[in-house]
Amino acid sequence: MIKLSAVIITYNEEKNIKKCLESLQDIADEIIIIDSFSTDKTEKIVRKFDVKFIKNKFEGHIEQKNFAMQSASNNYILSVDADEILSKKLKNEILKVKNNWQFDAYLFSRLNYFCDKKIKHAGWYPDKKTRLWDRRKGKWDGENPHDKIYMSDESTTQYLKGNLLHYSFTSIEQHVNQINKFSSIKADVAFAQNKKTSILKIIFLPVIKFFTLYFLKLGFLDGFYGFVISINSAHSNFLKYSKLYSLRKNSVSSEKTG
């Protein structure tokens, strides 16, 4: 049987972390928590569990998750977010893998909840994620804030049954606040990469996004919240390209005045 390290990054997760840690009991041989100096009761709650608690300055989602991965004692890593819980079926599947590790990485579906409602459409499900892997064969990469595990070319992967339950947003306001925050990060990254945008993109890409999620990906089947998610996702595109447009415009103005 392999030894498994569960890793979690946290910042002010007092509402979620207890259930997350409870779902990892009897499956993880160690639990590593990398905390970005929480100001709520996160540390007090996690100290009640048998965990390794490390404080580390947050430089980005990719950087923080790679730091968490490297902080583990074992090469076999299970990464979950503080607002995620292993379903009973997924937990049983992972236990089987621990007893008979055959692949370099395992992926499984993430079932997202929005305002306590399961979202099965609008591009939110099955939302397959690689979260169980041999760290010698893969690491976190991508573009902040959207991180992803990238495995080496020769790596093998298997899909596991069961869902990772993601209690993402408890209110529409919370979703809107994250969209505003993440769209700024995306715009900053795009600006640093010298990517361009235009008024046409600002106008039409959000419309295309809404149409794709609500109609083509059947968001309407999730009722009111399917509509909200589709609208908010379109608004996220609008904000990202608008903020990038503003950054580029301000940069040009600065060069002219400088």
Supply the CATH number for residue 89's domain.
3.90.550.10
**Is the domain of 145 the same as that of 187?**
no
Same-domain status, 8 and 126? yes
Q: How is residue 139 written in tokens?
A: 């690491």
Degrees (nearest 5) of the Cα angle 76, 81, 83?
145
CA 132, 137, 140, 141 torsion: positive or negative?
A: negative
The reply to whether 164 and 216 lie within a common domain is: no
Check whether residue 83 and residue 133 sit in a common domain: yes
Average pLDDT, the chain: 96
Cα dihedral 73, 78, 80, 86, rounded to 10, equals: -130
Same domain, residue pair 147 and 178: no
Instruction: Give the domain extent around 127.
Output: 4-169
Last residue in a domain, options 117, 150, 169: 169
Q: Which phi and psi (to 5°) does residue 201 adopt?
A: -65, -45
Give the model's pLDDT for residue 144. 87
Categorize the per-residue pLDDT at 258 as very low, low, confident or very high, splitting at 50, 70 and 90.
low
Q: What is the pLDDT of residue 61?
A: 95
pLDDT digits (tens, 9 = 90+) for 166-224: 999 999 999 999 999 999 999 999 999 999 999 999 999 999 999 999 999 999 999 99
Q: Same structural domain for residues 247 and 192? A: yes
- The closest of 169, 143, 151, 155 to 83, measured between CA atoms, is 169
- Residues 68 and 81: their CA atoms lie apart, in Å, by 12
Question: Within this chain, do residues 185 and 227 fall inside the same structural domain, yes or no?
Answer: yes
CA distance 91 to 108: 11
List pLDDT tens digits, range 94-153.
999 999 999 999 999 999 999 999 999 999 999 999 999 999 999 999 988 889 999 999
Same domain, 20 and 111: yes
Domain count, the chain: 2
Using the 3D structure, point to which of 169, 202, 224 is the last residue of a domain.
169
The answer on 139 and 41 residing in a single domain is yes
Whether residues 183 and 137 fall in one domain: no
pLDDT of residue 256: 66
Q: Looking at the structure, tell me whether residues 139 and 111 fall in a common domain.
A: yes
Please identify, among 139, 169, 199, the residue that sits at the C-terminal boundary of a domain: 169
Instruction: Check whether residue 161 and residue 200 sit in a common domain.
Output: no
pLDDT score, position 252? 76
Contact status, residue 19 vs residue 85, Cβ threshold 8 Å: yes
Q: Please report, as a single letter, which amino acid is at residue 150.
A: Y
